[in-house]
């Protein structure tokens, strides 16, 4: 892997943050958040990663992770560290149609309209995905789509039983401009910082993608 293809340190730091938040390991999350802030992540970016994760690992894990971030920031402030706040997301124009916006975002991310028997069987989940995950969340521009996908892949790789979703987001990661080399780097970061099982899931997904 060439130096040019490597993920920058701040993006690398997103992966263990997301993984430890997703599985509820707050002790390791604390260390990962400190390392991420030291690597250049802003408070807004860290917070956004943890907010987004509720869509993948549930509200309890997201809320606990956000509480841990608050603790990290208090501790760092007491040590005289002033972390950059970062920027808030741009507000959507009044009257925005979230369903249309989310459908367009989902189509761009996946590379084609997302359809299937599951969504016909449970149309509510299709609407929630389009309006909330890909509309409300992915429309927030204080974290770019590549960073959001690194967070999602890190989280899903750390969890068990979500291999189909991990494979889908490996494909989405490639659609938004991450390279196979960078995704292999994600696997290496997971092996080093999270665990070999998480790394193996990423490598398996990379082998299965078309």
Percent residues over pLDDT 70 in the chain: 98
Sequence ranges of the domains in the chain:
8-88+142-208, 96-133
State the pTM of this model. Answer: 0.95
Q: In this model, does residue 137 exceed pLDDT 70? A: yes
154 by DSSP, 3-state: which?
helix
**Tens of pLDDT, residues 93-106:** 999 999 999 999 99
Q: Which of 125, 133, 135, 124 is nearest to 151 (CA)?
A: 133
Backbone φ and ψ of 162, nearest 5° = -125, 35
Q: Which CATH number fits domain 8-88+142-208: 3.30.390.10, 1.20.1290.10, 1.20.1250.20, 2.40.50.140?
A: 1.20.1290.10
Q: In this model, does residue 4 exceed pLDDT 80? A: no
**pLDDT score at 209:** 82
Looking at every residue in the chain, the average pLDDT score rounds to 96
**Tens of pLDDT, residues 69-85:** 999 999 999 999 999 99
Q: How far apart are CA 149 and CA 203, in angstroms?
A: 16
How would you class 118 by CB atoms within 10 Å of its CB: exposed for 0-12, middle for 13-18, buried for 19 or more? Answer: exposed
For helices 163-175 and 196-208, the axis angle rounded to 10 degrees is: 60
**Tens of pLDDT, residues 139-193:** 999 999 999 999 999 999 999 999 999 999 999 999 999 999 999 999 999 999 9
């Amino acid at each position: 892997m060439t130096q040019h293809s490597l993920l920058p340190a701040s993006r690398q730091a997103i992966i263990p943050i997301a993984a430890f938040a997703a599985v509820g390991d707050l002790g390791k999350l604390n260390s990962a958040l400190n390392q991420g802030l030291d690597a250049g992540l802003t408070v807004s970016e860290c917070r956004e990663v943890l907010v987004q994760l509720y869509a993948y690992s549930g509200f309890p894990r997201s809320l606990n992770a956000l509480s841990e971030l608050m603790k990290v920031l208090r501790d760092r402030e007491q040590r005289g560290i002033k972390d950059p706040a970062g920027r808030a997301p741009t507000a959507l124009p009044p009257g925005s149609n979230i369903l249309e916006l989310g459908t367009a975002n989902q189509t761009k991310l996946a590379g084609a309209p997302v359809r299937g028997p599951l969504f016909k069987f449970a149309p509510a989940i299709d609407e929630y995905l389009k309006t909330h995950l890909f509309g409300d969340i992915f429309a927030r521009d204080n974290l770019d789509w590549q960073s959001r996908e690194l967070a999602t892949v890190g989280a899903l790789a750390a969890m068990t039983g979500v291999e189909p979703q991990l494979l889908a987001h490996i494909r989405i990661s490639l659609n938004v401009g991450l390279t196979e080399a960078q995704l292999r780097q994600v696997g290496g970061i997971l092996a080093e910082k999270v665990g070999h099982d998480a790394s193996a899931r990423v490598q398996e997904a990379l082998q299965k993608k078309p």
